[in-house]
Structure 1
Amino acid sequence: MSSTRINRVFGLDLIRSIAIGLVVMSHATLLAFPNSKNPIFTGIRILGAIGVDLFFVLSGFLIGGILLRHIELQKTSADDLYGFWKRRWFRTLPNYFLVLFLNVLIFLFLGNNLPKSILLYIPFLQNFSTSHPDFFTEAWSLSIEEYAYLLLPFLLFFSFKFFKNSNKEKLFLWITLVSIFCLTFLKVLYYFSAEINSYNDWSTSFRKVVIYRIDAVYIGFLAVYIVRKYSKIMEKFKLHLLFTGLLIFILIHVLVYSFNLVPQSSLGFYVFIYLQTIIFSLALLFPYFSALNYSGVFFKPIKFISVNSYSIYLVNYSIVLLGMQEIFDVFNKSILQKIGLILLFLSVSIIFSNIIYRYFELPILKYRDRKYKRG
């Protein structure tokens, strides 16, 4: 869910803004219409899940690009890898631990019991191979990204030492492909051992578990490799790829709706096809958006949302939404009052996240950029 503060690309800021918008709007429906089965709200909630998938591909695209730049600059030593991790950790960990601490305080203030696995949140192990606890639920995706940043870069830099005379860009491609292939075996094990009775069972035990989802980030690695390696072809066909990605995205959901595909009766589809197709369709958008430039009237609002997106993601549900549910009885509100609650939810999420960005996140990023130069 991170962003790069210099050399910004408008198209990637737009993707980030779309992703956080989908997530927040899906949460807004849970606030105002928590038990509604209306197809419109169901669709918005599905798009919220897609928003997180979009974040995964975007993160892989950005981080893969940084690793490829390291390769171009021949910064492939152990010190360079550690420097890469330190910059990542300065970007992701302070906000995470701040919001984790706030969640703990709120839980204790409300008299709730903390999960027994609370200490596992520190090394991001709370959903490594099992379902995420019902506490600070946004953290499930952060665990996936953190281990994605650890695993493949380590394998990549290790391979540079083992295959000293090999083409390092080709190693980047093959290590990424092999990692994705090997992770598929974990999905096979899940398929033969899981007992699924609902969409929620599948979502918590598979969609939100680290070992089954980090390959989504690595699809972003492949996307940035292809965009950079075949830049002329990507430039020529970027619109074709954009519409192909959108078409695949629409068709897979038409298939789900038409045949009433649900995890409890079509587990193989949801384990091996659905998410992979979604991630692939999203990756096809990046040749277009990574080359998109714009400086019109919407530039500043989109940049604002983009730079605040990480903080918005962290606070909008566990702190703002659940806090409002403690204060307001949404079941006895009129439609106009519920719309007012949604507007309040959006406003508080943006204001609170901007305070965190300005007075906590941004100073830390400035310190990082002084201390550890960008690769």
Structure 2
Amino acid sequence: MTRTYSERIFGLDLMRAVAILSVVLGHALWIYPDAQGGIVPLLKIMAVSGVELFFVLSGFLIGRILYKIITSETFHSNQLKYFLVRRWFRTLPNYYLILLINILVVLSLGRTLPESLFSYFFFLQNFGSGMGLFFTESWSLPIEEFAYIIGPFLLYLSVLVPFKAPRSMRFLYVTLLIIAFFMGAKLLYHFNTGATTPNEWNTQLKAVVLYRIDSIYIGVLAAYVSMTHSAFWKQYKGVLVISGMVLFCGMLLCIAFFQLGYETHPFVWNVLYLPFGSICMALTLPFLSQWKHSHGWWCKSVTRISIISYSMYLLHYSIILQLMRNLVSIDSLGEGAKALYVVTYLGITIGLSYLLYRFYEKPMMDLRDRPDITQYFRR
């Protein structure tokens, strides 16, 4: 069922809105290719951290759903199947539409489509190695999709295995197993390959499925804690949110102060940076998940941005920003004109994203609750 505004959790909407605005503003650096210093490092951190926020939040939301399914006394495999169907109605229609539009944009600009184009239709473009520049922001979608499949599959197997453990503990074991496996994959990458430049780290590790699913399952682990230790979750929400922010900022300050570069300290970047950042973000969830409501025009704006965030993510870069840069060259623009360019970019992104959500994304999502769909998943 579709949530009304009054049923939404404002804190999670805020987390989602911060995530998408961080990504969109971070990618605005493309308008200032020669910019150095100032807020440039902050915008770069925002672009990376925004997607990481999405991973943790996504894991938290699907974790709570999966925990309820697995621990239900009326558990049936059809519930897991319907979980996947609901996720796919949420993610696939928009993804395939924007993929096709990206293909048309590349052809209209007279450029060459990637040889690996076929892999994009099966979310394999960055499964084991980095992907090219085509539809570059799609790198996060395969990580999400494989996370949706791996967890339910292993949880179902855990229910079938005849050993004495309550289903809540099986949920925990599966979650920890997934986190450990993909942390181990990062270790193997570090010792066998190891990124030594920012570009290698960005394309060959950060944006590759085999090394990233643990970030989502850190969010799933947070969901487990929220379901099984609710008193702790409520009592320490203030301490945890402050700890998460302090630790994250402290990590960034340590990297800057001790000059922990990719070349000199690859272990920090290859193995520690991303999981530690995800843990810091997960620590904000007790506070944000209990921030139910807020008031004022800015709160409504936050909620609206949150609702259209998926459309914004898919549209803002390879389509809107790329077409704008091809239609209006930024090379000869002054600072004032560039500022107006950024405002126009943000306005077009929000406007088109609303239209996409209103007339395509939401109607497609609504299909998942139709009786002719749900009837196939009844026991």
- Smaller-chain TM-score range? over 0.9
Partner of 2:42: 43
- Structure 1 position 356, deviation (Å): 0.7
- Structure 1 position 120, deviation (Å): 0.3
Please give the alpha-carbon distance, in whole angstroms, between the structure 2 residues aligned to 1:122 and 1:265: 38
| Identical-residue share of aligned pairs (%) | 38
Where structure 1 has 5 or more consecutive residues not aligned to the other structure, the ranges are: none
Please give the alpha-carbon distance, in whole angstroms, between the structure 2 residues aligned to 1:195 and 1:230: 38
Please give the alpha-carbon distance, in whole angstroms, between the structure 2 residues aligned to 1:221 and 1:36: 38
- Encode CA deviations 1:331-368: one digit per residue, 9 max, x unaligned: 22111101100000001001111111011011111111
- Structure 1 position 4, deviation (Å): 7.0
- Structure 1 position 295, deviation (Å): 3.4
Partner of 2:12: 12
Asked if the contact 1:76–1:157 (Cα under 8 Å) also holds between the matched residues in 2, the reply is no
Partner of 1:122: 121
Please give the alpha-carbon distance, in whole angstroms, between the structure 1 residues aligned to 2:262 and 2:361: 39
Please give the alpha-carbon distance, in whole angstroms, between the structure 1 residues aligned to 2:192 and 2:301: 47
- Structure 1 position 195, deviation (Å): 5.2
Asked if the contact 2:70–2:171 (Cα under 8 Å) also holds between the matched residues in 1, the reply is no
Asked if the contact 2:214–2:275 (Cα under 8 Å) also holds between the matched residues in 1, the reply is no
Asked if the contact 1:76–1:160 (Cα under 8 Å) also holds between the matched residues in 2, the reply is no
Instruction: Give the AA of the match of 2:363.
Output: P
Partner of 1:268: 267
- Structure 1 position 294, deviation (Å): 2.2
Please give the alpha-carbon distance, in whole angstroms, between the structure 1 residues aligned to 2:76 and 2:283: 32
Please give the alpha-carbon distance, in whole angstroms, between the structure 2 residues aligned to 1:266 and 1:239: 33
Asked if the contact 2:26–2:47 (Cα under 8 Å) also holds between the matched residues in 1, the reply is yes
Q: Equivalences for 1:1-375 in 2 at 5 Å?
A: 5=3, 7-31=7-31, 33-74=32-73, 76-163=75-162, 166-194=165-193, 196-297=195-296, 298-371=298-371, 372=373
Asked if the contact 1:71–1:168 (Cα under 8 Å) also holds between the matched residues in 2, the reply is yes
Please give the alpha-carbon distance, in whole angstroms, between the structure 1 residues aligned to 2:38 and 2:75: 50
User: Which is worse superposed, 342-351 or 194-203?
Assistant: 194-203
Please give the alpha-carbon distance, in whole angstroms, between the structure 2 residues aligned to 1:214 and 1:81: 19
Please give the alpha-carbon distance, in whole angstroms, between the structure 2 residues aligned to 1:121 and 1:346: 27
Partner SS, residue 332 of structure 1: coil
- Encode CA deviations 1:181-233: one digit per residue, 9 max, x unaligned: 12222112211222534211111000000010010000000001111211111
Instruction: Give the AA of the match of 1:291.
Output: Q
Asked if the contact 1:77–1:157 (Cα under 8 Å) also holds between the matched residues in 2, the reply is no
Number of residue-to-residue matches in the alignment: 372
Instruction: Give the AA of the match of 1:348.
Output: I
Asked if the contact 1:223–1:283 (Cα under 8 Å) also holds between the matched residues in 2, the reply is yes
Please give the alpha-carbon distance, in whole angstroms, between the structure 1 residues aligned to 2:73 and 2:205: 38
Please give the alpha-carbon distance, in whole angstroms, between the structure 2 residues aligned to 1:302 and 1:223: 23
- Structure 1 position 75, deviation (Å): 5.1
Asked if the contact 2:89–2:364 (Cα under 8 Å) also holds between the matched residues in 1, the reply is yes
- Give me the CA root mean square deviation: 1.8
- Encode CA deviations 1:123-164: one digit per residue, 9 max, x unaligned: 100000100221101110011000011111110111111237
Partner SS, residue 260 of structure 2: coil
Please give the alpha-carbon distance, in whole angstroms, between the structure 1 residues aligned to 2:66 and 2:310: 21
- Structure 1 position 166, deviation (Å): 3.3
Please give the alpha-carbon distance, in whole angstroms, between the structure 2 residues aligned to 1:314 and 1:151: 24
The 3 A distance-change label for structure 1 pair 195 and 228 is closer
Asked if the contact 1:198–1:263 (Cα under 8 Å) also holds between the matched residues in 2, the reply is yes
Please give the alpha-carbon distance, in whole angstroms, between the structure 1 residues aligned to 2:199 and 2:2: 34
- Structure 1 position 234, deviation (Å): 1.6
Partner SS, residue 39 of structure 2: helix
The 3 A distance-change label for structure 1 pair 18 and 4 is farther
The 3 A distance-change label for structure 1 pair 267 and 158 is same
- Structure 1 position 179, deviation (Å): 1.4
Where structure 2 has 5 or more consecutive residues not aligned to the other structure, the ranges are: none
Please give the alpha-carbon distance, in whole angstroms, between the structure 2 residues aligned to 1:108 and 1:307: 31
Q: TM-score, normalised by structure 1?
A: 0.95
Instruction: Give the AA of the match of 2:86.
Output: R
